Structure 1
């Protein structure tokens, strides 16, 4: 049995929460279902069927706000963290300790929704950054969680996959497969694309770890959380919605997955390379 039941959420750091929330509400075609502010960080959560995207921005003064501003000044907005979900955080902590991920203490967390004062609670720990190839990795056991906002067929319904760039595919195999215990579905070098692909499944989505075969790499360099591919029911309607909103989008084209169609979103993503996908060509 897998330690992880899914990917609870992905963290995207942005300079200012109101602007970031407006950007992603327009992109995803849905409003955030949770907004909060505490300890120097403002957050907005967009929950879909199989995960959530958490926007995080500095809020006021303090160490956390200052650190977020430093990261944004250095790297710009972008994806920074993966938070996996488990049903048994104590056992997961024990096993990841034995697997050398040096997890920190299990702590309690709580958030209050600004809209209605509702509360959600969780337990979590963070793996050692030295062991996770430059990606901040958390493990979380929620007591309560927001439910996805009902949205139209032109809105994002789920996350198809997240793309992670790695200079060291063997390290990635060890981290995501052997140590975190995700389900390795594919390890293949595709010469036509100059890429080695590693696909890991968890909770109805894929972590697509890619290694560029035609580039020079320093094996000790960090991995990079790179891009997101969002699922929509009606790809043509989503394309029309984003076109009307003035975003720079490609034409709809046949996807690499059999029976899929995709288009690229070139702006309005806070710098995150983004695809929209439907698994029925329309």
Structure 2
């Protein structure tokens, strides 16, 4: 019923600064700009999903809610939105699974760049039923325009988004049994804990559980959190050189955990989102 990850939302305090940061990271132009309902939004659409930057704008309850979240948590990942081909059917399933979905609403967005309009239908599961992670679901028939590349060695697509959990069994039940994502990997290691991969279209929702060590503070096992994003690149050495030349703080390239992959960490210019870049193995489509 879920066909893919439509987009992720990153909250920022300054929409212009966030746009500049991700234009540098992606080497792509924004594909959509929109303002309304207490927020300014800038979207970057890659080959398999969209990243939406959102900042508070003006006065009123919607803007105040965003400011409250920013004051409490700072900039960073705020929500995931899954795509479905039948929102009414998705809503019934969420209701049966006691995820307490909101009524389906129709949304329209006007692009400040081109003047184009997109519309979709969406619902949202109750956050207390999704272990603290804000999950939306939408149906739309028209694709967003792709973000135009502005330089070589651009980001091509999302590889995976990371959810950190204190209760891996309940998290596995949520993303696997209840939402219906395909569990492609379930692996445990005494050093780095448990790692689960759930396929979602052309990317993965990665759920991680880190074992507690002596001296660690107790964690809330009922609350998961969005932890970070890994983006795909075609040539990681060229991407590293481009980002370093643009003043972005990046690590050295290293061998990834998955055989045949090479990865690096982006330490700045991500608006509070822990960020990894990966060059997939040569055999990957």
Tell me which residue corresponds to 1:264.
265
Cα distance in 2 for partners of 1:222, 1:276 equals 27
Cα distance in 2 for partners of 1:64, 1:219 equals 28
Matches within 5 A, 1:38-117: 38-117=36-115
Tell me which residue corresponds to 1:159.
158
Tell me which residue corresponds to 1:202.
200
Q: Which moved more, 1:149-158 or 1:25-34?
A: 149-158
State the number of aligned residues. 278
Matches within 5 A, 1:239-278: 239-278=240-279
Pair 1:176-2:175 in alignment: yes
How many angstroms does 1:145 deviate by? 2.8
TM-score, length basis structure 1:
0.95
Cα distance in 2 for partners of 1:221, 1:91 equals 28
How big is each residue's C-alpha offset from its partner over 1:212-266, in whole Å with a ceiling of 9 and x where there is no partner? 1134654544111011110011111110110001111111111111111111111
How big is each residue's C-alpha offset from its partner over 1:149-187, in whole Å with a ceiling of 9 and x where there is no partner? 242551111000111110010110111011111111111
Cα distance in 1 for partners of 2:220, 2:14 equals 34
Q: Which runs of 5+ in 2 are unaligned?
A: none
2:145 aligned counterpart, secondary structure = coil
- Partners of 2:33 and 2:41 within 8 A in 1: yes
- Partners of 1:7 and 1:83 within 8 A in 2: yes
Cα distance in 1 for partners of 2:66, 2:219 equals 27
Structure 1 pair 219/60, CA: closer, same or farther in 2 (3 Å)?
closer
Q: Which runs of 5+ in 1 are unaligned?
A: none
- Partners of 1:153 and 1:232 within 8 A in 2: no
Pair 1:213-2:194 in alignment: no
Q: Which moved more, 1:145-154 or 1:17-26?
A: 145-154
- Partners of 2:165 and 2:221 within 8 A in 1: no
Cα distance in 1 for partners of 2:103, 2:143 equals 22
2:2 aligned counterpart, secondary structure = coil
Pair 1:142-2:140 in alignment: yes
Cα distance in 2 for partners of 1:80, 1:140 equals 17
Tell me which residue corresponds to 1:224.
225
Cα distance in 2 for partners of 1:148, 1:178 equals 33
Cα distance in 2 for partners of 1:147, 1:277 equals 24
How many angstroms does 1:210 deviate by? 0.4
Cα distance in 1 for partners of 2:143, 2:281 equals 30
Query: What RMSD, in angstroms, separates the aligned Cα atoms of the two structures?
Result: 1.3
- Partners of 2:30 and 2:148 within 8 A in 1: no
Q: Which moved more, 1:145-154 or 1:97-106?
A: 145-154
Tell me which residue corresponds to 1:238.
239
TM-score, length basis structure 2:
0.94
